[in-house]
Structure 1
Amino acid sequence: MGMREEIQAEMAEAFDDPDGLADAVKPVEGVRKIPGEYDPDLGGETPETTVTYMGRGVLGSYLSKEIDGSLIQTTDKKLLALQNELFVSEGGAPTAMLASPVIGDTINGLRVMNVSADPADATWTAQLRK
């Protein structure tokens, strides 16, 4: 088992542990709107496709020393999610295809402002804003 799988297994265990993070873990639903191609048959409209992904994660706040009022605001939230637990959703059911959040997505009603991965590519950290 590589470092990535080890970290993900330990984090998943902590997410499930009632004495660990289980009470802080919340369902996560992300939505990405992808603009379509110009379609003259639709009167020149560009229909968009909506991709939905789901998983679970821990939502928290930023430390006061991280808040600069510009890039990170006091109302911003920080989401920590396991990369191997975010799946594209079709009809409300997860598929086998993994998803990665991107800037501009909406997660649990909040807009994704920034996304980063840890060095082992085991977790996503997303900055969310109203």
Structure 2
Amino acid sequence: MSLRDTMQSSFGALFDTAFAEVMADFTGTYLGPGIYDPVTEETTAQTVTYTGRGVLTRYKLEQIDNVNILSTDSLLIVLTNEVTDLPSAGHKITAKDPITGALKTFDLLPVKIDPAKVHYQLQLRAV
């Protein structure tokens, strides 16, 4: 078993036990390929939907610079093997707010991945 597989298995177990209370299921959406007609301003692109789960949290105070990271931004930490598609900047993410329990929609900003490709760090900005 590779280091990556071992880490994903370990983190997956933590998601199921220690972090179970703060886990958030999410749905990501984006427009797939299609043809845009500039005259009618319509497209043939269809919405692509993917799912996953992760830990939804706020950024640490020292990370907030109010330029790249706003005080209202959220951070979603997701295992790469638990997402059904590749998250990318510009996608919409819908997740349940861990505090209020209400569904919220976010714009997905830059996506970071660790060197071992075990998890994504998704920067979310409320719409």
Query: Shorter-chain TM-score: which interval?
Result: 0.7 to 0.9
What SS class does the counterpart of residue 65 from structure 1 fall into? Answer: helix
1:31, 1:53 within 8 Å by CA — same for their partners in 2? Answer: yes
Q: CA deviation at 1:43?
A: 5.1
1:62, 1:76 within 8 Å by CA — same for their partners in 2? Answer: yes
Corresponding residue number in structure 1 for 2:65: 68
Superposition RMSD in Å: 1.8
After superposing on structure 2, the runs of 4+ consecutive aligned residues of structure 1 that deviate more than 4 Å are none
Partners of 2:112 and 2:41 lie apart in 1 by 37
Identity %: 37
1:28, 1:55 within 8 Å by CA — same for their partners in 2? Answer: yes
What SS class does the counterpart of residue 115 from structure 1 fall into? Answer: strand
Corresponding residue number in structure 1 for 2:109: 113
Corresponding residue number in structure 2 for 1:29: 27
Any unmatched runs of 5+ in structure 2? 95-104
Q: How many residues align?
A: 116
Partners of 2:30 and 2:68 lie apart in 1 by 22
Partners of 1:116 and 1:4 lie apart in 2 by 16
Q: TM-score, normalised by structure 1?
A: 0.83
User: Deviation digits for residues 37-62 of structure 1, max 9, x if unmatched?
Assistant: 1459x956322221100011000110
Partners of 2:19 and 2:50 lie apart in 1 by 22
Q: TM-score, normalised by structure 2?
A: 0.84
